[in-house]
Amino acid sequence: MLSHNIPPSLCAGSCPLTNHQLPRALFSAHESRRPSCSSNPAASIQSPNSTAPSTSLTITAPDDWHLHVRDGKAMASVVPHTAQHYRRAIIMPNLTPPVTTAQAAIDYRQRILACVPPSRAPFFQPLMTCYLTDRTTPDEVEAAKEAGVVAYKLYPAGATTNSDSGVTDILKVVDTLKHMANIGMPLLMHGEVTDPSVDMFDREAVFIHTKLIPLLDQVPNLKVVMEHITTKDAAEFVASAPPNIAATVTPQHMLLNRNALFAKGLRPHNFCLPILKREKHREAVAEKATSGSPKFFLGTDSAPHPKGAKESSCGCAGMYTAPISLGLYATAFEAAGRLSNLEAFASFNGPGFYGLPPNELPNQTPASSQQEATWALRAHPGVHLQA
């Protein structure tokens, strides 16, 4: 049985780790909510069954730049949730076996498309990645680019779920990375060291100083996305780096700190990698993500697991947030007083970094898309999108 349990700390009510209230109206049909941006009538929150005047948040259709959908029956049960709310999604390649070749990426894409509901099929596009290994060659990268692969993913071996085939030493793949830089192929990095002597809460900061900075000294023009950043160190590094360095940010790392793992007991649904950090890090990540900087964009890292594997004595890492992720991001942006910056974060910054066009603007929606937009709004109360 696949776990579709949304982490309770992200759903509603008092947030035990940040000591402030999370707006319930994003996730409940029973409470009203005032408009959040009176100066911007296109950016407000709706409470579907409220007695208060109905308002809505309308943004250009967003994309998810970091997503896990697994494979097989599990994939069939989760792909519709992302397809319902996003137009494009970068698909992570850490299957068993991993997606290491152009043909494997093509085949995986077809399996994903077969899981998209017919009403969403004209609108949802999976963007494929390949898994970088010690043996990946420049020729393989070239073939992947010609096949439509949009990026390579670097997992340090053993860093997270299904990462045992990952890179053991970045120096082994420098020639391949130089070729990627030359052809404009981005590298997506799970930025943690795996040395067991390094504290779990310090692994991202250590990675930046011992792995990423030395790599960029050798390949300064490589396009790099630091995935799911969690620390003040990463947020400040990306903000001050050249334009070829960017970051994705998850909703949990904007809303939760590490107290969420232990609030009145061990909370397996709040366990993810990189692990939640101290409040000062959550604040720094949220500040940069909501700042309006084009270097930060939406990447849910939504990661489903079988219920028994998540709720166990040795539970899997990952939060499954796909069904409510847009509401979670809106909560974080509203808490920062920057709801007007949500659209750039969700809809413009990612395409800009990848050199892709944004999705259609709300006032440019073709007539044929109107029914699809309405379907999305009715299917999920909360943040309402015009596709």
**Res. 36: pLDDT tops 50:** no
**Res. 33: pLDDT tops 50:** no
Mean pLDDT, residues 177-206: 96
Please give the pLDDT value at position 382: 39
Higher pLDDT, 369 or 313: 313
Please give the pLDDT value at position 50: 36
Q: At 78, list the tokens.
A: 């989760």
Please give the pLDDT value at position 57: 82
Chain segment 334-375, per-residue pLDDT in tens: 999 999 999 999 999 999 999 999 998 553 433 333 333 322
Does the annotation mark 301 as catalytic?
Answer: yes
Active-site pick, 63, 64, 233, 301: 301
- Measured at the CA of 35, the angle between CA 320 and CA 340, to 5 degrees, comes to 70
Mean pLDDT, residues 267-291: 97
Please give the pLDDT value at position 34: 27
Cα distance from N-terminal residue to C-terminal residue, the chain: 32
User: Of 73-87, 210-224, 265-279, 362-376, which gets the smallest average pLDDT?
Assistant: 362-376
Per cent of the chain over pLDDT 70 is 77
Pairwise CA distance, residues 48 & 26, whole Å: 9
Angle between helical axes of 72-85 and 102-113 (0-180°, round to 10): 70
Our separate counts of H helices and E strands in the chain read 14, 10
Pairwise CA distance, residues 64 & 61, whole Å: 10
Chain segment 131-149, per-residue pLDDT in tens: 999 999 999 999 999 999 9
Per cent of the chain over pLDDT 90 is 73
Band of pLDDT at residue 5, cut at 50, 70 and 90: low
For 262, residues 6+ apart whose C-beta sits below 8 A from its C-beta are none
Which residue bears the tokens 């017919």?
Answer: 118
For 346, residues 6+ apart whose C-beta sits below 8 A from its C-beta are 59, 62, 63, 297, 298, 326, 329
Please give the pLDDT value at position 8: 59
Band of pLDDT at residue 166, cut at 50, 70 and 90: confident
- H-state helical runs in the chain: 72-85, 102-113, 138-146, 174-183, 203-207, 213-218, 232-240, 251-255, 279-289, 307-310, 325-335, 342-343, 349-354, 370-379
Chain segment 209-254, per-residue pLDDT in tens: 999 999 999 999 999 999 999 999 999 999 999 999 999 999 999 9
**Res. 298: pLDDT tops 60:** yes
Sheet of 224-226: strand order equals: 63-67, 88-91, 125-131, 151-154, 187-189, 224-226, 245-249, 296-298
Pairwise CA distance, residues 325 & 97, whole Å: 28
Buried b (16+ CB within 10 A) or exposed e, 66-93: bbbbbeeebbbbbbbbbbbbbbbbbbbb
